[in-house]
Structure 1
């Protein structure tokens, strides 16, 4: 009986020591209680519209505007909902705005001063898609504990809606009379879009992630107002961005 008692006592002591050692090992590591199900992020980057339709051609031809002048700072926010270990449902909202001061290429005013105007081009995309990770984003070490991985590349794609606004305000030349007049022209509308994306997540700790991404979108829309009769405006373009996300 004493021998059995000593055996069971020794087993209990070893179990306690083993449990304490395991708890200490877990405490020494960075882990979350359960796999995160949502990420929320914000981005800043650079947008390069293709700007390859009739309205852009006319603007570059008549005014001192170049294609790269339509490039703009791009802001974005996104929500990722985990569907599986490697797949997220990705919801996004962006904003891009370029404002270009210019003058007439061929004419000057009667006062020998430049004929000045401003052109603004804004794009606001709303997107929904899937993001597929090429490696595991973390690993489970118990029923409750989850450790994030350091580096996780991804690819993805989806669809959405893009709202745009194209504005021109200032002095213009009537090519029939050569009179100079002041006016404001605008066109705004929406269009469906499709996009593809690629990038990576880099974990900065338990909750925070640094994300870098390149995305190309395809979209075009009707022109309205004084631009009726123009070809559809080209809304295609590339966006490169980085930012931070938080695991929730």
Structure 2
């Protein structure tokens, strides 16, 4: 069921406790209530946010801020920016930088990732408010819905394709899938893929958090935290010791 909200946005309620919110400018925010996952994409697609039990990701332009949760409280932090990839952890007094020269200590600060960036990503740069309720209603009146032979439900709202398969997986595509967002209410998987970033996360026996921005990469499996940039790799091992990979 899709409705126009008092905020002048569109809200689509799907099966398995998944809600998709859209602005009239095609910003997207998807909430997976079962697995406590929130994914957000701005109207321009240049900003995104991921909130997952494994960590938080906030991408704005060419910069990506990352928080990876540790089971024992030794959370990891990383930042992809023009200098390379900076990283540290809760129990590490030093900050490291992986750049074209290799891995070295540096001075850097990291964003407070405890705040909810998904709402600012969703609303900033998008028209919203009571004034736009009628426009949201008009958009809904022009929407389309169909079900495939395999039972996948499809909605096209304001040229945004939202689909949900029989097992609950939700996929959202914009601009011929140039911008994609997806999450699984049963599996706990999540992904955001745009020209600016590609990131994935999963729960279960093999949990992970992965981010790619150009040649910069971060992978975390709950134990090893590995950063890659310019042909160099470094990170923390299972004992929180610095590892520089050859």
- TM interval, shorter chain, is under 0.3
> Which structure is richer in relative contact order (CA contacts within 8 A, separation 6 or more)?
1
Q: Which has the higher helix share?
A: 1
Length-normalised TM-score, structure 2: 0.26
Length-normalised TM-score, structure 1: 0.26
Q: Considering only CA atoms, is the larger Rg found in Structure 1 or Structure 2?
A: 1
